[in-house]
Amino acid sequence: ILNVEQSPQSLHVQEGDSTNFTCSFPSSNFYALHWYRWETAKSPEALFVMTLNGDEKKKGRISATLNTKEGYSYLYIKGSQPEDSATYLCAFMTGNQFYFGTGTSLTVIP
């Protein structure tokens, strides 16, 4: 079983603050790294699929970077809003298997 770690486990920020969290994964046999946003009582929603070292992706106020050589990805949220409150999961893909991290639970306080 591969180890995919996310930190911090939970985060509380004020509305308007920018924040970031980390996904660490094995640096060998890398195929892809996915980020998902998961709101309570809903299904995970895809944010980014990253495949190349140095990839940077952006969707609105959310962006992500990827370093496959050292095995980490950062997710950034600029100007957090209450609707950003969710659990953010990363998933490391090797072969045809996905290994999910334990997630970072973000709460944005109005």
Partner 1 sequence: AAGVIQSPRHLIKEKRETATLKCYPIPRHDTVYWYQQGPGQDPQFLISFYEKMQSDKGSIPDRFSAQQFSDYHSELNMSSLELGDSALYFCASSLDGGYYEQYFGPGTRLTVT
**Interface residue list for partner 1 (CB under 8 A):** 1, 31-32, 34, 36, 43-46, 48-49, 51, 89, 93, 95-103
The DSSP line for 10-69 is EEEEETT--EEEEEE--SSS--EEEEEEE-TTS--EEEEEE-STT-EEEETTEEEEEETT
For residue 8, the minimal CB distance to partner 1 (Å) is 15
**Closer residue to partner 1 (CB): 1 or 110:** 1
For residue 52, the minimal CB distance to partner 1 (Å) is 11
The answer to whether 103 touches 36, Cβ cutoff 8 Å, is: no
**Closer residue to partner 1 (CB): 15 or 45:** 45
